[in-house]
Chains A and B, each alone.
Chain A
Amino acid sequence: MDLTFTPEHDAFRMEARAWLEANVPPPGALRSLDTAEGFDDHRVFERQLFDARWSVVSWPKAYGGREVGIMEWLIFEEEYYRAGGPRRVSQNGIFLLAPTMFEYATDAQLERYMAKMASGEEIWCQGWSEPDAGSDLAGIRSKATKTDGGWLLSGQKTWCSRGAFAHRCFGIFRTDPSAERHRGLTYFLIPMDAPGVTVRPIAQLDGETGFAEVFFDEVFVPDEDVLGTIGDGWKVAMATAGSERGISLRSPARYTEAADKLVDLLLATPVDEGHHLDPRSAIADEVMKAYADAQAYKLHTYMTATKVREGHTVGAEASATKIFWSETDVAIHRAALRLLGESAELEVDDGRGGTDLSEWLDGYLFALSGPIYAGTNEIQRNVVAERMLGLPRA
């Protein structure tokens, strides 16, 4: 048991820190990720990250990575959040699709897509959920029928994050109409500008179009853009789902940074406005509970990373992890809003002559989506109960 970093790790950290301090744009400099202009602002920053080989540190060098291990990736993430780096517009691609690609893609597919994914040239969205297949993902009805040289995709996908602006979509369609549930599904890589694709942006809680509905009307996808084998889509998708819930989507740095800022906010809150510094006060305890949970998530991640590095895979534990980080995120931001009291609802100067949500309010709205996306926490609790505790299925 050794919880210290090696001198090589420290050197890697310092190199990342120096670059990020010099290059991360100041808060508010990039417009909102969920607007057309902000989407482009964020892609420009992704390109800078990529050019300096910081966008996908753990990937092969051929696609813009540094081929470093999981610990270095965690260190980079710690530094990224420490520097106040913006939300990653490419996250659905680099964190969700990429691990699945490295497991299932052909060499030609990797050549075709990975570098462009890493540089932000092509942004990916996820086409999984349907109006009648949310938590019950195996209820997918969108279908793909065979045609010369490829497939014709028809149906409707929804809640596609960044779907309003994305260039490509990774989605699951039913290729065997006679098969039910988890069988007869296939995983496709789909160009969003193909004829037959119609995107209807959906405004989220903050009024911006962070996600979209996507309609497919006999959209042609060539055979070479099937990921994995025909009919094997569920298995391929579960690799992505594991990444989404496990450590690759939400590095602990996001929470430890936010929790540290929360403690600062508590300590900066005047004592005469509610005696917040009295350690017995309810709000101080709420803050420290959120802080403790963020720290616990970090330590748990180090333990998981050790297991992964020693060849173990993350199974149902990923569901426990997803519950924990999503609820920790809500707890951190809710405590901050409580500290801000009546002023929490106010928008702040965005530096461009307008107003925008405060960092805490924006963070809270974003955090609230966590227990819903990537499989609701209710579904995750079922997984924990059935697969970690062995309880009988309903």
Chain B
Amino acid sequence: MRFSFTEEQLVLRDTVTAVLADWCTPGDLHELYANDAPDAGRSHPRWNALFNLGITALHIPEVDGGLGLDDRELIAISEAAGRVALPEPLSETAGVVVPILVASGAGHHALEPFLDGGGAATLGGVTFTPSGPRIASVADGHRVRTSGITQATASHHLLAVSSASGPELHLAVTADGDLTRTTSLDRTRRLGTLTWTPTDATRLATGPLAATLLDQAVNRAALYSAAELLGLCDAMITLTAVYVSERKQFGVPVGSFQAVKHHLAGARVKLEFARPAVYAAAWSLATEHPSATHDISLAKSLASDAADEAARVSLQCHGAIGYTFEHDLHLLMKRAWALSAAWGDARSHRARLLNLLQAERSVLPS
């Protein structure tokens, strides 16, 4: 039992944090709200700066040219990406798509873009339900329409399901399909719908393997959303703590009032206790522990609730200035709202936890 990061893991996280500080400022996000070119993300220097750190190859074995690391490293990096509301699919690429490619047995060709091709990838066409993934791709003639894709316009590749003849997992090239933007409250999520053509070249897995990988992909998406929520939570609470320490009313900083303190302390406590659950779930996933599914639902339910609370009290403690479009808070808050609901909200994950515990009790003697 040693429940902490290693020095190397912390150094890696801090390296990424430093790059993010340079390349993903609130000003950059405001700019993206104001002026987001449809394919800006795919060639953005910010993505290149992150790619050059090798994060997308983190899960690829060393023998294949990757870093040979796992979720124990990536979870802290993803938390750091959440802290700045990164508008590129770092977690999706490194935490979801690449590990699924590796697990699918895809060859070097499929991994190539993530080793040195600047590849960014995301997941779509599937949603979380307490009883398992629900396929949300729709057949459109011989093509497939996949909606609800996050960071769609910033991604070169899409891990998607076609269910024409049983679930099949594909890695589609977004540029080969027709991508349309879906507008949403958090414009930096860059949601989209891709209409694409499944071919032998895009197919990764069929049958039971496809079902297993799909399950893993959704679990991974839930875990990495939870990690980003931790970062968002921390960023919102920190931003608000600084604001209420400076903002004066009645001649004193409003942060000296107990009502304000208690709002923020409550949010901080929720974050404090969500964090170990997220790290533990990363450990379970990396070590293929039998409790991984349980641990991921635990992590996502706690992180979603913590982020909802942090967003709520941060807005309240900022007063009217936090309600403005020009303030930084909404950049974080809108992402937190979206990720809190994405890949299973808190209640859906608690429902899955109950399903798991019920199944466990029905096979074990009491």
Query: Which A residues are closer than 8 A to B by beta carbons?
Result: 1-6, 9, 71, 263-264, 266-267, 277, 279-280, 284-285, 287-289, 291-293, 295-297, 299-300, 302-303, 305-307, 310, 317, 320, 323-324, 378, 380-382, 384-386, 388-394
Contact = CB atoms under 8 A, between A and B. Distances in A.
B241 A300 contact: no
A264 B361 contact: yes
Contact of A288 (B5, B256, B351): B351
9 contacts: A2-B3, A3-B283, A292-B302, A302-B3, A305-B1, A320-B268, A320-B273, A389-B268, A392-B253
B4 A296 contact: no
Given A288-B350, A302-B1, A378 B262 contact: yes
Interface in B103-124: none
A76 to B, nearest CB: 14
Contacts of B1: 2-6, 9, 71, 302, 305-306
Interface residues on B, range: 35 or more
Interface stretch (B89-97, B147-155, B165-173, B352-360): B352-360
Interface in B268-287: 268-269, 272-277, 279-280, 282-284
Interface of B: 1-6, 9, 72, 130, 237, 241, 244-245, 252-253, 255-258, 260-262, 264-266, 268-269, 272-277, 279-280, 282-284, 289, 298, 301-302, 347, 350-351, 353-355, 357-358, 361, 366
Given A303-B3, A384-B269, A285 B264 contact: no
B350 A285 contact: yes
Contacts of A380: 265
Nearest to A74: B1
A386 B130 CA distance: 40
A46 to B, nearest CB: 28
A394 B274 CA distance: 29
A378 B262 CA distance: 8
B264 A385 contact: yes
Contact of B264 (A9, A291, A389): A389
Contact of B3 (A3, A317, A384): A3
A295 B4 contact: no
Given A266-B354, A280-B351, A392-B256, 18 more contacts: A1-B4, A1-B72, A9-B1, A279-B355, A285-B350, A292-B277, A295-B298, A296-B274, A299-B3, A300-B273, A300-B276, A302-B276, A302-B280, A306-B3, A381-B258, A381-B262, A390-B241, A394-B258
B276 A299 contact: yes
A378 B258 CA distance: 9
A1 B353 CA distance: 24
B121 to A, nearest CB: 26
Contacts of B275: 300
> Among A292, A380, A386, which residue has the most Cβ atoms of chain B within 10 A?
A292
B256 A310 contact: no
A389 B350 contact: no
Contacts of A317: 272
Contacts of B366: 264
Given A3-B283, A300-B273, A391 B361 contact: no
A82 to B, nearest CB: 13
Contact of A391 (B264, B269, B272, B355): B264
B174 to A, nearest CB: 35
A269 to B, nearest CB: 12
Contact of B261 (A4, A263, A385): A385
Contact of A303 (B4, B252, B284): B4
Contacts of B5: 1
A381 B270 CA distance: 12
Given A263-B357, A378-B262, A392-B256, A299 B280 contact: yes
A65 to B, nearest CB: 20
B83 to A, nearest CB: 16
Give the secondary structure class of A's interface.
helix
B241 A389 contact: yes
Nearest to A263: B357
Contacts of A303: 3-4, 276, 279
B165 to A, nearest CB: 32
B256 to A, nearest CB: 4
Contacts of B72: 1
Given A3-B280, A4-B1, A391-B244, A292 B353 contact: yes
Contacts of A292: 277, 298, 301-302, 350, 353
A308 B241 CA distance: 28
A263 B361 CA distance: 10
A265 to B, nearest CB: 12
Centre residue among B6, B130, B252, B354 by max chain A CB count within 10 A: B354
Nearest to B362: A267
B268 A384 contact: yes
Contacts of B301: 288-289, 292
A324 B274 CA distance: 11
Contact of B272 (A3, A280, A288, A300): A300
A280 B275 CA distance: 26
B72 to A, nearest CB: 5
B257 A285 contact: no
A293 B237 CA distance: 21
A324 B305 CA distance: 14
A330 B217 CA distance: 36
B357 A1 contact: no
Contacts of B283: 1-3
Nearest to B357: A263
A389 B3 contact: no
Given A3-B283, A384-B269, A389-B241, A306 B261 contact: no
A390 B3 contact: no
A295 B299 CA distance: 10
Contacts of B253: 391-392
Contacts of A382: 258, 261-262, 265
Contacts of A287: 354
Contacts of B256: 391-394
Contacts of A297: 273
B2 A1 contact: yes
A382 B245 CA distance: 14
Given A1-B283, A263-B357, A292-B302, A324 B273 contact: yes
